[in-house]
Structure 1
Amino acid sequence: MAHYAGHVQLVTTEHEGVRRGVTVTAACSVSDNPPTVLVCLNRSNASNGIFLDRGYFALNTLSVQHQEMAAAFAGFDNKTAEERFAMARWDTLVTGCPTLMDATAVFDCRLIEHKIVATHMILFGEVVGLRETESQQALMFLERTWRTL
């Protein structure tokens, strides 16, 4: 799978005062009517269950300026969740999930379905809020290294 280029995104949620964020490359559009996206999360991390518990998530599209933060949320360091969230400015849109203020785009989603496939949990979210900013150089991940597009 290292040869599969992916646009780097950050999926976030907050439930009962606990914030969770995960760097992902397995996320895409499913439908435009209603607007729906999907995100794949590894089931081996029990902390990812918070996305099901909350029932809402935000998909934050990252640019090249977010590389350090993407690495942190991917677990490439020993930062706590609060230290990771302190790396950027956050607000909320419709669902109350943390949204990255300078993300290229934010898709604020209501979880409408989830499926388990092999090692991953697939979240399907109906987009209930959207924010776009100026176009920026996309952050990609390919062959285990950061790239730009």
Structure 2
Amino acid sequence: MIEATNFREAMSLLTTAVNVITTKGASGAHGFTASAVCSVTDSPPTLLVCMNQSARSHAHFVDNKTLSVNVLSAQHEHISNTFASKLSSAERFEQGSWTELVTGAPILEDALVSFDCAIDDIQQVGTHSVFMCRVVAIKHSETPDEANESLVYFNRTYHQLGQPQFA
């Protein structure tokens, strides 16, 4: 049997994009930092997002049945840290500029890309909920391509990916 600590150590070597996942409903706006996001299919456009069931905002995501995936650029490390912190939901949204698309889930205005989603299905797997999310709108960054370096997480630290190539 594989021990959880051994699994977590091995997974730290899997490079992942850094995302802020948000929702908004009757109880306000909520969000968390996540790396467990991936594409499922393009027909219909669907993402998979994993969230720990013990997270304080878990019930809000389940109740709202909507979320947005905001893919962070290298300039957003502070936002990633804020949404991973113990700060209140209201304090978290004081960082960055936020808007919305179709579902009302907060969209980070200068994210590399944001996916606005309806949660179509939720599966419980161990300690986490797996949200199957149908993409209903997409917003791309409007900043120049050279500023769009991705924020990734590898070996328990942040890195930048996509630096301009110089000849």
TM-score range, shorter chain: over 0.9
Deviation of 1:17 after TM superposition, in Å, equals: 4.2
Q: Unaligned stretches of 5+ in structure 1?
A: none
Deviation of 1:47 after TM superposition, in Å, equals: 2.1
Name the aligned partner's letter for residue 22 of structure 1: F
1:46-57 equivalences under 5 Å are: 46-57=56-67
Say which SS state the counterpart of residue 129 (structure 1) adopts.
strand
Q: What is the aligned counterpart of 1:36 among 39, 46, 52?
A: 46
Say which SS state the counterpart of residue 96 (structure 2) adopts.
coil
Runs of 4+ aligned residues of structure 1 deviating over 4 Å after TM superposition are none
**Given that residues 31 and 57 in structure 2 are in contact (C-alpha distance below 8 angstroms), is that contact kept between their aligned partners in structure 1?**
no
Q: Please name the residue that 1:147 is paired with.
A: 159
Aligned length: 147
1:100-115 equivalences under 5 Å are: 100-115=108-123
Name the aligned partner's letter for residue 52 of structure 1: V
Q: Please name the residue that 1:10 is paired with.
A: 20
Is the aligned partner of 1:24 residue 2:34? yes
Name the aligned partner's letter for residue 72 of structure 1: T
Say which SS state the counterpart of residue 13 (structure 2) adopts.
coil
In 2, Cα distance between the equivalents of 1:12 and 1:79?
Answer: 15
What TM-score, normalized to structure 2? Answer: 0.84
In 1, Cα distance between the equivalents of 2:66 and 2:81?
Answer: 23
Deviation of 1:14 after TM superposition, in Å, equals: 0.8
In 1, Cα distance between the equivalents of 2:39 and 2:57?
Answer: 24
Bigger Cα Rg: 2
In 2, Cα distance between the equivalents of 1:22 and 1:4?
Answer: 20
In 2, Cα distance between the equivalents of 1:83 and 1:137?
Answer: 26
Q: Percent identity of the aligned residues?
A: 36
Q: Unaligned stretches of 5+ in structure 2?
A: 1-10, 162-167
